Amino acid sequence: MSKEIYENPDLKKERQNCPFNKEEITHLLDGGKEKTIERKQLENYILSDEQLKDAVPMEYLSHADKYAEELRKACLLMHKLADSPAGQVPTLRALMGAGLGSAVLKEGNPLALHYVMFIPALMGQGTIDQQAKWLEKAYNLNMIGTYAQTELGHGTFLRGLETRATYDPKTQEFILESPSLTAYKWWPGSLGKTANYAVVMAQLYTKGKCEGTHPFMVQLRDEETHEPLPGIVNMWLNPVCISSYIHYGTYVKPTNSKLSYATMVFVRVVVCQDVTTNLRKAVTIATRYSCVRRQSELKPGDREPQVMDYQAQQNKLLPPLAATFAFQLAADHLWNLYHTANNNIEQGDLELLPDLHGLSCALKALCSSEAANFVEVCRQSCGGHGYMSCSNFPRIYGQVTAAETYEGENTVLWLQVARYLVKTRKEQSGGLSVKYLIGEEKGPKTVDTTLEGIVKLYRRAAVGLVDVAIAELDKSGRKGEAPHDAWNHAAVYLIKAAQAHARLFVVESFVDSLKEGKLSAPVRTVLSQLCELFIIYWLLERSGDFFLCSNLTKQDLLLLNSKYVELLAAIRPQAVNLVDSFDLRDEVLNSPLGCWDGNVYQRLFDEAAKSPLNQSNVHESFHKYLKPLLKSNL
Ligand SMILES: CCCCCCC/C=C/C(=O)SCCNC(=O)CCNC(=O)[C@H](O)C(C)(C)COP(=O)(O)OP(=O)(O)OC[C@H]1O[C@@H](n2cnc3c(N)ncnc32)[C@H](O)[C@@H]1OP(=O)(O)O
Ligand SMILES: Cc1cc2nc3c(=O)[nH]c(=O)nc-3n(C[C@H](O)[C@H](O)[C@H](O)COP(=O)(O)OP(=O)(O)OC[C@H]3O[C@@H](n4cnc5c(N)ncnc54)[C@H](O)[C@@H]3O)c2cc1C
């Protein structure tokens, strides 16, 4: 007789009478029905492999054992690539992300940088000959690379990197050296024990002149013994400049010095998707748990309610739920811009480069910071159980909050965005994402609280905050401050303007995607509710910006607050159905709180039992330390 599949009765009730087709949303998020089929096939192929399962929870292993276990699985995954039903590239893409990849490699993938940065650097910046020499070797895993840019003393300020590559015209070689302790390459993933090659970013010196940071291919370790090559500590090696600009001993400037930053732009684009996937996991865990967890008393004398029935809990979880759709659609738009810009750059057309740089900085900073805040809210919404390691919130939070720092610390990226906005507003010329800054702000200042009216408010705030920042810069200039001082003294306004620009892009992406999308009426209804909830939520959170730049009144805010709480109540019944639409398997969620069947308490108990400390009633340390203390009559 088939074993009855347990389903928590509350979750079962939540799933009854779903008014929309969950699969339609799954296909929307996957990029179509075929992509969903491919993803599910791949998940079955990977997650059914017993060798990829952890014998013991990773948190109970030593640092070295964790590394060895993750490397074992990462290498096994590479062997499985060849037979993957989804093909190598889609499989690699899935394995490098926060979804399937982190379901297997919970502590991180020792080979990630090889695929996420090393190969993209070769593809984006290598000459044809260099690609012919190295790409096949890299794809065949006959070399493992990383991207070594950050140093002990510099991560943000690339023009301040100390590693030097001096060209010797006599030997036609580059001599790489780390002239100081602070020049040591620090942070690059896989650099410590895994990679035997690296793309090293160094200041190129030729004929006594510094030509700025350039990428160099450097062999780090012997390919047979894996021993560090002689002098690797001071990097006196025989590197090769990638995308060599040294022609017959003469330096030839690239068409744009920032093309050497292209790999970072690529990863910033990828990060937007990655943090969205992590946020989707956190929202799913917290939403399902909040419909299983019953606590306290809503109506005196009644049964303890599901905590999701508290408006306070809806206020915690429904904005992040809406954000997962907003960020996904914005990341899709950014990805399309990246592809178009990259294809153009390959043809020598750099026109879209500034817009791509501006938008990738804006969205990477916005999505990572918002996702980190939302993941923490999701964790807190699960009370004590959300704090447990096995909840997976600590790991998800660690992954998302790291994205606020790597690939460009967010503050620094906000200031890059502001530089682009100020330049566009002043010169009245700029790329697609900043067209709203060209010309006077159109439309009335009076507030119209329809969806279209709220989007106009976002646009007015975005223009207005750039103008406020420019006014600050001009004021400092009139006081005789040098431009760099004026810039520094306007940083608070500049960052606000950059953030408003990023929010406008996300809001317009969400609204436009719903307008253009071929959606069934029920799906359009629920996604429109999420869209309206999210853009009102952000407006209420940042109402100061809107007061500063429009005629928003107290009455308008009260009206928007009422709309907001009405939308919380309207979306609440579909919360579980919406997270079910993400189609995240239990192995990907990796959390007893978020499992599909809602059997939370038994799974929590089973997880606790796995602890080494729970393998005996009395731990040996009692006899060594506690018993003597108890007897010592202090
Ligand atoms: C998701 C899956 C896993 C991911 C794993 C990731 C692991 C992590 C890896 C890393 O962290 S790798 C290291 C990342 N490090 C950084 O991102 C460093 C951040 N710093 C910078 O990018 C630069 O220092 C800077 C902040 C952009 C400043 O550069 P610079 O001082 O050279 O330029 P500016 O003087 O500020 O601007 C001059 C000019 O250049 C334009 N520009 C700057 N960067 C770019 C770019 N990338 N692309 C195009 N254009 C760029 C800038 O807009 C200015 O233009 P104008 O205003 O003069 O027109
Ligand atoms: C998990 C992780 C993985 C990483 N992987 C890699 C890797 O594989 N390869 C690699 O090369 N690097 C890697 N890094 C390094 C990462 O790229 C840097 O840490 C990051 O670029 C930030 O630079 P920083 O550490 O110098 O921070 P800093 O810039 O020193 O930041 C310190 C403070 O200074 C502020 N600040 C700096 N400049 C300005 C400014 N102009 N205006 C205002 N405020 C400013 C910052 O906002 C921040 O508050 C990784 C980092 C992490 C956390």
Q: In this predicted model, what pLDDT tens digit does every residue of 105-129 receive, in sequence order?
A: 999 999 999 999 999 999 999 999 9
Ligand 2 atom closest to Cα of 415?
42
pLDDT at 18: 97
Angle between helices 311-346 and 491-516 (to 10 degrees): 90
| DSSP line for 388-439 | SGGGSHHHHHHHHHHTTTTTS-HHHHHHHHHHHHHHHHHHT---GGGGGGSS
Query: Do the annotations mark residue 189 as ligand-binding?
Result: yes
How would residue 236 be classed by pLDDT, with cut points 50, 70 and 90? very low
pLDDT beyond 90 at 19? yes
pLDDT beyond 70 at 587? yes
In angstroms, what is the span from residue 412 Cα to ligand 2's centroid? 9
Q: Average pLDDT of 128-139?
A: 94
Cβ atoms of 392 and 589 within 8 Å: the answer is yes
Ligand 2 atom closest to Cα of 408?
21
Q: Average pLDDT of 137-161?
A: 96
Q: Coil, strand, or helix at residue 274?
A: helix
Query: What is the number of the ligand closest to the CA of 259?
Result: 1
Ligand 2 atom closest to Cα of 407?
17
Q: At residue 164, what are phi and psi to the nearest 5 degrees?
A: -115, 145
**ipTM for the whole complex:** 0.99
| DSSP line for 227-261 | PBPTTTTTT----EETT--EETTEE---S-GGGGG
- Residue 606 Cβ < 6 Å to ligand 2: no
How would residue 246 be classed by pLDDT, with cut points 50, 70 and 90? low
End-to-end Cα spacing for the chain: 63
Among 182, 198, 200, smallest CA distance to 190 is for 198
Cβ atoms of 617 and 406 within 8 Å: the answer is no
Q: Average pLDDT of 359-385?
A: 98
In angstroms, what is the span from residue 484 Cα to ligand 2's centroid? 21
In angstroms, what is the span from residue 482 Cα to ligand 1's centroid? 24
Cβ atoms of 54 and 69 within 8 Å: the answer is yes
Q: What is the pTM of this model?
A: 0.96
Q: CA-CA distance, 608 to 99, in Å (whole number)?
A: 24
| DSSP line for 573-609 | GGHHHHHHTT---HHHH--TTT-TT--HHHHHHHHHH
In angstroms, what is the span from residue 214 Cα to ligand 2's centroid? 19
pLDDT beyond 70 at 443? no
pLDDT at 234: 36
Q: CA-CA distance, 324 to 370, in Å (whole number)?
A: 10
Cβ atoms of 126 and 242 within 8 Å: the answer is yes
Query: What's the Rg (C-alpha) of the chain?
Result: 27
Cβ atoms of 497 and 466 within 8 Å: the answer is yes
Q: Give the whole-number percent of the chain exceeding pLDDT 70.
A: 96
User: In angstroms, how far apart are the furthest CA atoms of the chain?
Assistant: 90
Q: Whose CA is nearest to atom 20 of ligand 1?
A: 156
Residue listed under structure tokens 């904005």: 319
Q: CA-CA distance, 470 to 474, in Å (whole number)?
A: 6
Lowest mean pLDDT among 304-318, 349-363, 427-441, 475-489: 427-441
Q: Coil, strand, or helix at residue 146?
A: strand
Q: Average pLDDT of 355-382?
A: 98
Neighbours of 470 (CB within 10 A): 18
pLDDT at 253: 76
- What distance lies between CA 236 and its chain's CA centroid? 35
pLDDT at 101: 94
Q: Give the whole-number percent of the chain exceeding pLDDT 90.
A: 86
pLDDT at 446: 65
Ligand 1 atom closest to Cα of 265?
47
pLDDT at 280: 98
Mean pLDDT of the chain: 94
Q: Whose CA is nearest to atom 13 of ligand 1?
A: 407
Q: Coil, strand, or helix at residue 474?
A: helix
Catalytic residue ranges = 407
Q: Whose CA is nearest to atom 45 of ligand 1?
A: 258
Residues with CB under 6 A from ligand 1: 112, 116, 147, 149-150, 155-159, 189, 258, 261, 264-265, 267, 270-271, 274, 353-354, 357, 406-408, 412, 416, 419-420, 423
pLDDT at 55: 85
Q: Average pLDDT of 167-193?
A: 92
In angstroms, what is the span from residue 262 Cα to ligand 2's centroid? 17
- CB half-sphere exposure, 118, CA atoms < 13 A: 31
Q: Which domains are assigned to the chain?
A: 142-261 (2.40.110.10)
DSSP 199: E
Q: In this predicted model, what pLDDT tens digit does every residue of 330-350 receive, in sequence order?
A: 999 999 999 999 999 989 999
Cβ atoms of 343 and 351 within 8 Å: the answer is no
Query: What is the number of the ligand closest to the CA of 146?
Result: 2
How would residue 537 be classed by pLDDT, with cut points 50, 70 and 90? very high
Cβ atoms of 279 and 319 within 8 Å: the answer is no
Q: CA-CA distance, 620 to 438, in Å (whole number)?
A: 72
